[in-house]
Amino acid sequence: MIRFADVTVTYDGAVTPTLTGVDVTVPEGELVLVVGPTGSGKSTLLKTVNGLVPHFTGGTLHGRVVVADRDTALNPPRELADAVGYVAQDPQQGFVTDSVEDELAYTMESLAVAPDVMRRRVEDTLDLLGLTSLRHRPLRSLSGGERQRVAIGSVLTAHPRVLVLDEPTSALDPQAAEEVLAAVQRLVHDLGLTVVMSEHRLERVVQYADRVLLLRPGGQVVDYPDPAEAMAVSPLAPAVVDLGRLAGWQPLPLSIRDARRHAAGLREQLADAAPPPAPPPSAAAAVAQVDGVTAGYRDVSVLREVSVQVQPRDIVAVMGRNGAGKSTLLSLIAGQQAPQRGTVRVAGHDPTGLQGPGLIRTVGFVPQEPGDLLWSESVGQECRAADVDAGAPPGTTWTLFHDLRPDVAEATHPGDLSEGTRLTLALAVMLAGDPQVLLLDEPTRGLDYCAKEQLAQLLRRRAEKGRAVVIATHDVELVAQVCTRMVMLADGDVVLDTDSRSGAVSSPAFAPQVAKVMAPVPLLTVAEVRDVLPQEVPS
């Protein structure tokens, strides 16, 4: 269905090619997963499929990409619209119209499909993706998962034979990701569509893949017709695969179900294993206090009578669905918005009254889009500005950043950094003032496993220094790795406030993969299993 023949892609002005010598054939009807660290060229590979690379992005493509018997060198993306459906990372940015039904019809309008055929296909697609109840809704009012399904539907109506999805679930909460993946599964199984997708959250998709393309540093692509083989060597792997590698299971399990079947022996062996002791509850006075707070927009209350306390050395995870009020809680603590009722105190101050260096030394907040905090021309300039803002000695920010990313040059433009590096820079900028409380909103949405591990280490060091961290996140693996406490919000209320270990084992929704495999043994991460495992077990 798709043939990459010796494809090399070099962007204009780049010294080294982004992809080199890609020689892969994708047969019809497969779900192909593209795996690689951030910035390794996953998006570039996906964009070659419908010719966006090089027709739209510029650069040079050597070799040949043939899709559904059409050469992308001769057909620009618009002429391939009836053969390849391409959905970009942020579907909202690709919407042309403003209601669900019009958006579904847009591609067909461009392809001059006859009106009666259009009408029929829109109805089919509404059913296929479960969008019927949304047909008249404005696109702006949709949730993330609904948006992603509309974006998929809007290219499906043209009846393409290949669907290309760039990180379809990375920005979604677990429930929304389920919706989207179920829809994709149905397309592969019922319509025989060929799907090529990339995804950071491998734990969500790897068990569905028929084939894995692994991107190597330097732009080589290795083709693994068996995903388990790819996972055995991949530097990026979900926790369940890491556990399988540690225990030496063959074939390597990709799903919880497979792993549980292998794990019976391991569970027996570790039946008496005790989890690492929980840190004693901190006796220190709370550094951030939210007391009976009601907050929201105009007449809508997002939070109702919520009380949360954060002690020094705490790493608190704030969890809950999209729209449950996680971001509102963080912006209350940062003083970005005032409560309608109740009080918020951070280190004894009302945070809305803080500004300038006083604010920076009390609260640091990295918003969902870390790039919002960066507006200088170069990394070095950004760091110097942060030193001045925080009143820190010159070089503080640069040292913080350079320790984590020694490979990034001072002259680099912040806009050219990868997602993970940009987050690191924003963190360094915020940590220049050594704030009492550090707030992070969905920090892991664009991060691969290595970047996530680095973030976890940094947060642990903050806690060791006696500072507090609050993270709004959906990522149960991150919570299991670093968090000491878990607060769950639902419908404006706190429905759970407990230490993260008992939270994680209390409900499958919060359980990380290792906990699901090892239950009832109370171990949450691969590292914990490694620590209690006797040394002679092959690893």
Partner 1 sequence: MTEPPRLLHPGAWWLWALGLATAAARTTNPLLLLLIAAVAGLVVAERRVPGPWSRSYTAFLKFGLIVIAVRVGLEFVFGGTGLGVVAVELPSVPLPSWLAGLTLGGPVTWDGLLGALFEGLRLAVILICIGAANSLVNPSRLLRLVPAALYEAGVAVVVSMTLAPVLITDIDRLRRARRLRGRSTRGPRAWGQMALPAFSGALDRSVALAASMDSRGYGRAGDQPARVRHLNTALVVAGLIGVLLGLYGLLTGGTPGSPGSGLFGWPVLLAGAALAAAGSLLAGRRVTRTHYRPDPWRLPEWLVAVSGLIPAAVFVALGANPELTGPASPPGWPPLPLVPALAVLVAALPAVVAPRVPSDTAAEREAVPA
Q: Which parts of 92-131 interact with partner 1 (CB under 8 A)?
A: 93-99, 101-102, 105-115, 118-119, 122
Residues 325-354 that bind partner 1 (CB under 8 A): 327-328, 331, 334, 336
**Looking at 86, 224, 401, 510, which residue binds partner 1 (CB under 8 A)?**
86
How would you classify residue 41: left for phi > 0, otherwise alpha for psi between -120 and 50, otherwise beta? left
**Looking at 316, 373, 447, 504, which residue binds partner 1 (CB under 8 A)?**
373
**Looking at 15, 136, 250, 538, which residue binds partner 1 (CB under 8 A)?**
136
Residue-wise DSSP of 198-259: E-S-HHHHGGG-SEEEEEPTTS-EEEESSHHHHHHH-SS--HHHHHHHHHT-SSPP-SHHHH
79: number of Cβ within 10 Å? 14
Decide: is 74 part of the binding site for partner 1 (CB under 8 A): no
Decide: is 76 part of the binding site for partner 1 (CB under 8 A): yes
> In the bound complex, what is the minimum distance in angstroms from residue 501's beta carbon to partner 1?
31
For the chain, how many residues are written? 539
Decide: is 372 part of the binding site for partner 1 (CB under 8 A): yes
Residues 437-496 that bind partner 1 (CB under 8 A): none
Of the two residues 21 and 357, which places its CB atom closer to partner 1 in the complex?
A: 357
> In the bound complex, what is the minimum distance in angstroms from residue 78's beta carbon to partner 1?
5
Cα 49 to Cα 72: distance, rounded to the nearest angstrom:
8
338's CB contacts (< 8 A; 6+ apart) are 295, 332, 352
77: number of Cβ within 10 Å? 17
Of the two residues 231 and 333, which places its CB atom closer to partner 1 in the complex?
A: 333
Instruction: Retrieve residue 499's tokens.
Output: 């230490």
Name the nearest CA neighbour of 50 among 158, 151, 163.
163
Decide: is 307 part of the binding site for partner 1 (CB under 8 A): no
How, if at all, do strands 2-10 and 60-67 pair? antiparallel
Decide: is 4 part of the binding site for partner 1 (CB under 8 A): no
Residues 402-441 that bind partner 1 (CB under 8 A): 415, 429-430, 433
Q: Could you give phi then psi for residue 144, rounded to 5 degrees?
A: -55, -45
Instruction: Retrieve residue 335's tokens.
Output: 């003083």
Cβ 236 vs Cβ 36: under 8 Å: yes
Of the two residues 32 and 122, which places its CB atom closer to partner 1 in the complex?
A: 122
Of the two residues 79 and 497, which places its CB atom closer to partner 1 in the complex?
A: 79
Cα 82 to Cα 384: distance, rounded to the nearest angstrom:
51
Return the SS3 of 292.
strand
Beta strand residue intervals within 464-529, DSSP E: 468-472, 485-490, 493-499
> In the bound complex, what is the minimum distance in angstroms from residue 464's beta carbon to partner 1?
24
**Looking at 64, 140, 189, 341, which residue binds partner 1 (CB under 8 A)?**
140
> In the bound complex, what is the minimum distance in angstroms from residue 435's beta carbon to partner 1?
10
Return the SS3 of 521.
coil
Of the two residues 256 and 417, which places its CB atom closer to partner 1 in the complex?
A: 417
> In the bound complex, what is the minimum distance in angstroms from residue 343's beta carbon to partner 1?
20
Decide: is 71 part of the binding site for partner 1 (CB under 8 A): no
Helix axes 256-269, 239-247, angle to 10 degrees: 40
Of the two residues 196 and 247, which places its CB atom closer to partner 1 in the complex?
A: 196
Residues 40-59 that bind partner 1 (CB under 8 A): 50, 52, 55-56
Decide: is 355 part of the binding site for partner 1 (CB under 8 A): yes
Residues 279-298 that bind partner 1 (CB under 8 A): 297
Of the two residues 47 and 516, which places its CB atom closer to partner 1 in the complex?
A: 47
> In the bound complex, what is the minimum distance in angstroms from residue 79's beta carbon to partner 1?
6
Name the nearest CA neighbour of 485 among 362, 335, 234, 313.
313
Decide: is 398 part of the binding site for partner 1 (CB under 8 A): no
Decide: is 77 part of the binding site for partner 1 (CB under 8 A): yes
> In the bound complex, what is the minimum distance in angstroms from residue 441's beta carbon to partner 1?
11
Cβ 448 vs Cβ 200: under 8 Å: yes
Of the two residues 390 and 494, which places its CB atom closer to partner 1 in the complex?
A: 390
Of the two residues 60 and 110, which places its CB atom closer to partner 1 in the complex?
A: 110
